[in-house]
Amino acid sequence: MKLYENVVIGNFLYGLGFALGSQLRSGQLPSMVNLLQQTPDDKRLGDLLMAFPGTVRLIEFKTEANKSKKEAGRHQFLSRIFSEKLDELPDLPGTSRRVHWYIETAPLPSAALSARIEPYLDAFGEGARQRPKSSERFQNFIEELAAGILQRRSAEITRAERDYIDLVRLAQGPEETGTGGLVLVAGSGGGLHFAALQDLMDLNLSHKQWIEYSQERYLSLQREMKQPDHEMPDLKRPTLGRY
């Protein structure tokens, strides 16, 4: 059986949504999930970038059958950048191991899925791809991730995680990303609300800055379309930025 990476990612996101829904007892959960695979930002960031209140995760997916050496090269490049900044940012390795993950999967004859899931910083090197995979690791990681997303984190940790994403992006060059994003606000009762972002890196804006940016963007589109100024959309409902 051939198992494509996009099939694995799709099931990962479905499982994560299910886990979050079952664990979210009350209130709302603002989130931004960006599947970057085969977009211009795939090479700059990775396959999947997710932002939740107080939590940012960047995940790279690979199947065991994929023999590409692209990730090993990116890992070496990032490791060199990290070593250069270690004196300035001594907590950088810990932040990386919390934020940046590598998931390698393979199908099993029993139709189950086996996975090796490690921090990106530790996932490469001699013999890495021969490390054992577990049939329970994939679903356990999803449950652990969901539980971590729903925990409150300090502003300092939140800032460090978002700064790490900036570092990974800028390590590949100063160009802006070209991928938009969607903010989803999900309620414990099942209600959903979406809002658009012009650039996924707007996750680094504060709540106030994001509202101002969105209002200016809305007014600009109104002027371009030369339409009457209808009622502004509710921009305060989604929450994005440093929680």
* pLDDT tens for each residue of 163-182: 888 888 877 666 555 566 77
Rounded Cα distance, 207 and 43, in Å: 28
pTM over 0.85: no
Q: How far is CA 11 from CA 3, 28, 119, 219, in A?
A: 12, 23, 20, 38
CB atoms within 10 A of CB 224: 8
Rounded Cα distance, 124 and 45, in Å: 17
CA-based nearest residue to 81, from 70, 92, 68: 92
* pLDDT tens for each residue of 76-125: 888 888 888 888 888 999 999 999 999 999 988 877 899 999 999 999 88
Q: What is the mean pLDDT of the chain?
A: 78
Helices (H), the chain: 5-23, 70-84, 92-99, 137-149, 155-170, 207-225
Rounded Cα distance, 215 and 213, in Å: 6
Contact 20, 146 (CB under 8 A): yes
pLDDT beneath 50, residues of the chain:
205-211, 213, 228-243
Contact 36, 97 (CB under 8 A): no
CA angle (129 as vertex; 127, 135 as ends), nearest 5: 130
Q: How far is CA 70 from CA 111, 124, 150, in A?
A: 28, 11, 33
CA-based nearest residue to 59, from 8, 92, 99, 2: 99
pLDDT at 170: 76
pLDDT at 8: 93
Q: How far is CA 169 from CA 22, 45, 175, 176, 201, in A?
A: 33, 6, 9, 9, 10
pLDDT at 86: 86
